[in-house]
Amino acid sequence: MARPLKSIPVMTLCLIAATLLLIGTASAVAPDAAFSSNTTSGAAPLTVDFTDNSAGATGWAWFFGDETYNGTWTAVNTSAGWSARGGHTSVVMPNGSIILMGGIDGGSRNDVWLSTDNGATWENITPHDPNDIWSGRYGHAAVAVNDTIVLMGGMNVMGDEYTLKNDVWQSRDYGATWTCVNTSPGWLARYAHTSVAMPDGSIVLMSGTTGSGLKDVWKSPSSGRTWERMTDISDSAEWPGEGPTSVVLPDGSIVIMGGAGSSGRVWKSTDGGAIWTELSNPGEGYSRYSHTSVAMPDGSIVIMGGWYLGLKNDVWRSTDNGTTWTQVTEHAEWSPRLGHTSVAMPDGSIVIMGGDGSTSDVWRLETAGSNARNPSHTYTTPGTYTVTLQAYNDDGYNVTRQVITVTAAVAPTANFTANRTSGTAPLAVQFNDTSTGGPTSWAWDFGDGETSTDQNATHTYAAAGNYTVSLNATNAAGSNTHTETDYITVSAAPVPPVANFTANRTSGTVPLAVQFNDTSTDSPTGWNWSFGDSAWHNTTDAAERNATHTYAAAGTYTVSLTVDNADGTDMLSRAGYITVTEPTPTPTSTPTATPTSRPVYSGGGGGGSTGGPDGYNVGGDSAVSKVNVTGTGLKSFIVTGRTQSSPGTGIPPAPGTPYQYVDLVPARFEEITGATITFSVTAAWLEEHGFTPEEIVMYRYSGTAWEALPTTVERATGTAVTFTATSPGFSLSAISGVEQAEEPATTPTAAQTTAQAAAQPTAEQTTAAPAGKPAPGFSAGTAALAFGAVLALGAGGYLVRRR
C-alpha cells in the first residue's frame, strides 16, 4: 500500500485534495447530447436529415437503428508493446483512453498500459514503487467509475504457486498510481469473475471460481470500499460460474452471458443484481466462456470469441437486451482466441486486445452509422428505428435517442407545375416536380423530342408550336405518369427590321443626284426616306424602296431611313452624310422646297401621329402637338416632330431668340398643299427671356433662308401659351421670340388666321420686320405715309396681314 507522506500534515493534504477535486469537478463537463431531425416518419425510402444540438460536444457517434455490425475488423497494432498475454482486463476512460491491466504471459503481470489513440500506440505507465500497485494477477475484473478505476480479485501465479485474490484497488489518475481500498471485502477470493459499473456509480461483482464455480452477487456503493451480498444463486444449476461476461444496459439492467457450465445461457437483473431471470438459451453455437462482451451506445450487446469445443473468432449480437442473438460474423479477421478483453469506444467502435496468452495485437471494428456532426440517412425498409446519438468530449460522453417510423413504400402520384406556359421563342420554362408518394427518379418528356431525368428541370423551346409535357415519377413500389396536353404554347419571336442603306455618292456639286439603296434586314415592308432638305420618299412597295434624290442647294445633309414591318420599326440616321458644294464661286439660288407627290403609305407599323377631323397628333419630343393638313392621300398620314439643338451644318440660326428647332417629318401621303401647326411655349421661358406671346413667331427653312410663318396666339394657361402657324408644307422649323416695338401687335382673330392660311407670305414678307416696327432704311415720316397707304388698301380688301 502507498506510504503516507509524513512531512505534510494530514489536514493540509485533505484541504489540497478537496480543492483539486472541486476544481476538477467544475472543469470536467461531459457534453449534453441532443439532436433533431427534419422528419420522424414517412414511406420508404425515407431520407432523414439529423441536426446535432448537443452542448459541449467535440465528437459524435450516430446509430440509425439499422446497423449490421458485420463490417471488417482492422488491425490497428499487431505488436502493441505489452507482452502477449491472456486473462488481462481493460477499461475505457471518459476521455476515450484505454487502460490495459495485468494478465498472464507465463507468469502473472501487474503492469499498466495506456493508449490514447484507439489502441494504435501504447505507453507503459506501471508505477515504479511496488507499494503503489497490486500484485501480478490474471482473471481479475476492473471497471471505470467516472475517472476512477477499480480492480478486483484475480489469481496470482508465482512458479507453481497459485494464490487467489479478493483485494480491491483504486486508481484516480488513469492507472499511474494505485491504492488498496479493501483487503477483505466479504466475497471469497476468486478469479474468472465479472463486474459492471452501474449508472448510479455502484459496482456489481458476479460469479467467478475458486476451483469450482461461484454463484453469488455482490454490490459496492462506494467504488469498492464496502460491499454487500445481493443474492446467492447456488440453487440454480444453470447460473454461470467460471468465465462469464456481463454488461449494464442503458436502462440500468444487468445481463450476464455464458461461462463454464452454463451451456451459453443468458440471465438478466433489473434491480441491481438482487433478482435474476433467465432470458434464453441460444444453443451450442453461442455457448462459450472466457469470451469478451460490450454494451453499445445503441443498446445492443456484442459477444466476441472465447472457448467452446475449441477457440472461436465469431461475433454475436443481441438487439433485445439479450433475449435473442444473431451471429453477425462467423470468422472475424482476428485469430480465434480466449482470455482477451474489449472496450466500446466513445466514437462507437469496438477495440479487442490480446488473448490466448500468445497475442499482443489490437483490432478495431467501426460500428457507428456516421461520425459526422449533422448526417443524413436513408431508410429503405419499413420499420421502427431507434436513433442514438452518443456525443463526447475529453471529459466524457452522453447518449440521447429518438424513434423514426418508416412505412411501406407506395407508388408515387406524378404531378408538376411550370413557371410559365406561354411566350415567344426561345421560351425557357422551369418545370417543378410536385409528385407525392416519395419518387426517387423522374423522366420528363417536353414534347419537342427533348427529355430530362432531373427532379426539377429547365427546358428551352426553340420553335413556335403547342407542346404536350409529361412526367413519369418512379420509386421502389412503382411508377406513375402525369401528362398535360398542349401545356406549353410558344409563338414565333417578333423580328423587327434593322434599317441600313448606302449611296452611290456622298459628295458633289449642285445639282447633285444621289442613288440611295436600302440594305435593311429582317424583311421591312415600309420605307420612309428623309433626305435632309425637306424632301421625303415614302413607300410600301418593295420595288420602290430605293430612292433617287437630287440636291439643288449647297450644304451638308443628314439622311435618315425609317423602316418597319408588323413586328416593329427601326431608323438609321447619318448626320452630315451628303455634302453638296457650289459648282462656281458665285452661289446660285436654290428654289424653295415644295411638297411633292408621293405614294400613299398603306402598311407597316411605327409611331408618328394619329389624326382625324380635328387634326393629327404629332409624335416625337417637340413643342408641336398637332397639325391640320390639306392635300391628298392622307388616310394613313403621320408626322413626327424631332427637336434639334441647332439648325444643323450650313444652316444659319433662325431670327430672334430660338425657343426650339423642330424637324417636322411627314409620312404616308400623296401630296400636301398646306398645314396649320399647333405648338406651345412655356410661360417660364417667356418670362425668363422677356417676351410677350405676341412676340413669338414660327419660322420655316426653305432651303436657302428662314421664312416667317403667320403665327397666332390661341390660348394661354398658367404654365404655357398655345399658338398656331400656317405653312405650305413641312421642313425644319424654328420657334423664336422676336422683340417688337413698344406698340403691341394685334392678335389675329380666328377669321384672320384663316385668311392668313389662304394668303401665303412671300420671301420678302418673311424677312420683313415684325409688325409695329419701321422698316429699316426709312424715316419715320415715310413709314407713317406707308402705314396710311396700307390702311387704305386694307379698306379695299387688299391687305394681307403678316405676323
Domain identity same for 399 and 453:
no
Confidence of residue 636 (pLDDT cuts 50, 70, 90): confident
- Choosing from 456, 491, 526, the residue where a domain stops is 491
| Domain assignment of residue 128, yes or no | yes
Are 147 and 15 contained in the same domain? no
Q: Please report which confidence band the pLDDT of residue 563 belongs to, taking 50, 70 and 90 as the band edges.
A: very high
Give the C-alpha separation, 191 to 109, whole Å: 14
A 10 A CB-CB count for 652 gives 10
Residue 14, SS3 per DSSP: helix
Window from 261-275, 339-353, 414-428, 449-463 with minimum mean pLDDT:
261-275
Is 729 a domain residue?
yes
Banded model confidence at residue 593, pLDDT cuts 50, 70, 90: very low
CB contact set of 785 (below 8 Å; sequence gap of 6+): none
Measured distance CA(109)–CA(124) in Å, rounded: 13
Q: Residue 430: name the closest of 462, 461, 469, 457 by CA.
A: 457
pLDDT for residue 779 is more than 50: no
376-379 vs 46-52, strand pairing mode: antiparallel
Q: Which residues of 332-368 are buried (b: 16+ CB within 10 A; e: fewer)?
A: bebebbbbbbbbbbbbbbbbbbbbbbebbbbbbbbbb
As for how many domains the chain has, the answer is 4
How many Å from the N-terminal Cα to the C-terminal Cα in the chain? 133
Residues 6+ apart with CB under 8 A from 567: 494, 495, 496, 497, 605
Contact 335, 360 (CB under 8 A): no
List the single range of 65-69, 354-358, 476-480, 527-531 with lowest mean pLDDT: 354-358
Q: What's the pLDDT band for 212 if we cut at 50, 70, 90?
A: confident
Cβ atoms of 313 and 336 closer than 8 Å: yes
What number of CA atoms fall less than 13 Å from residue 742's CA on the CB side? 0
| Beta bridge partner(s), residue 681 | 721
What is the CA angle 493-497-499, rounded to 5?
155
Let me know: does 643 contact 620? Beta carbons within 8 Å: yes
Residues 231, 139 within the same domain: yes
Domain carrying residue 778: 607-803
Residue with cell 404655357: 720
185 and 320 within one domain? yes
Task: Give which of 99, 43, 796 is closest to 410, Cα–Cα.
Answer: 43
Burial 213-240 (b: 16+ CB within 10 A, else e): bbbbbbbbeebbeebeebbebeeeeebb
**Mean pLDDT score across all residues of the chain:** 85
Q: Which residue has the higher pLDDT, 797 or 27?
A: 27
pLDDT band at 260 (very low <50, low <70, confident <90, very high): confident
Same-domain status, 32 and 160: no
Query: What's the whole-number mean pLDDT along residues 561-569?
Result: 94
Q: Determine if the pTM surpasses 0.95.
A: no
What is the arithmetic mean of pLDDT over 4-11? 38
114: closest CA among 176, 30, 196, 172? Answer: 176
Q: Which CATH number characterizes residue 96's domain?
A: 2.120.10.80
What the block records as the C-alpha cell of 44 is 420508404
The whole-angstrom separation of Cα 215 and Cα 205 is: 11
Mean pLDDT of the 268-291 span: 83
Residue 276 corresponds to which cell in the numbers above? 435474476
All three cell numbers of 287: 455457448
pLDDT tens track for 131-176: 889 999 999 999 999 999 999 999 999 888 899 999 999 999 999 9
3-state secondary structure of 624: strand
> Within this chain, do residues 802 and 693 fall inside the same structural domain, yes or no?
yes
Residue 234: pLDDT band by 50, 70, 90 thresholds? Answer: low
> Residue 543: which residues within 8 A CB-CB, separation 6 or more?
none
| Rounded distance between C-alpha atoms, residue 128 and residue 720, angstroms | 112
Between CA 639 and CA 657 the distance in angstroms is 26
* Inside any domain, residue 560: no
Regarding whether 320 and 195 lie in a shared domain, the answer is yes
Measured between alpha carbons, how far is 218 from 230 in angstroms, rounded to an integer? 5
State residue 346's pLDDT score: 97
Residues 184, 124 contacting (CB under 8 angstroms): no
Alpha-carbon gap, residue 271 to 294, rounded angstroms:
20
d(CA 258, CA 358): 23
- In terms of domains, do 94 and 151 share one? yes
pLDDT at 35: 98
Alpha-carbon gap, residue 502 to 519, rounded angstroms: 7
Half-sphere exposure of 457 (CA within 13 A, CB side): 20
Q: 513-522, 665-674, 691-700: which range is least confident on average?
A: 665-674
Residue 114 lies in a domain: yes
What CA–CA distance (Å, rounded) separates 150 from 166? 12
Residue 402: give its domain's CATH number. 2.60.40.10
Residue 616 has pLDDT above 50, yes or no: yes
Q: Residues 119, 265: one domain? A: yes
- Same domain? For 315 and 188 the reply is yes
From CA 305, how far away is CA 290, in angstroms rounded? 8
Of the chain, the percentage scoring pLDDT greater than 70 comes to 83
Check residues 775 and 443 and name the one with the higher pLDDT: 443
At 346-405, the pLDDT tens digits run: 999 999 999 986 789 999 999 999 999 999 999 999 999 999 999 999 999 999 999 999
Same domain assignment for residues 209 and 135: yes
Domain termination residue (choose one: 433, 458, 491) = 491
Residue bearing the bigger pLDDT, 427 or 757: 427
177/296 same-domain check? yes
Q: What is the DSSP string of 110-163?
A: EEEEEESSTTSS-EE---SSGGGSPPPBBS-EEEEETTEEEEEEEEEEETTEEE
Determine the average pLDDT of the residues in 103-114: 94
Residue 34 lies in a domain: yes
Reduced to 3 states, what is the DSSP secondary structure of residue 610? Answer: coil
* 595 within some domain: no
DSSP code at position 407: E
Rounded-to-integer distance, Cα 313 and Cα 310, Å: 10
In 3D space, the residue among 42, 37, 40, 66 whose CA is nearest the CA of residue 409 turns out to be 42
Q: Is residue 750 part of a domain?
A: yes
112 has a pLDDT exceeding 90: yes
Last residue of a domain, one of 438, 473, 491: 491
Cell of 134: 497490486
Q: What is the helix (H) or strand (E) element at residue 26, kind and residue range?
A: helix 10-27
Q: Give domain status of residue 505, yes or no.
A: no
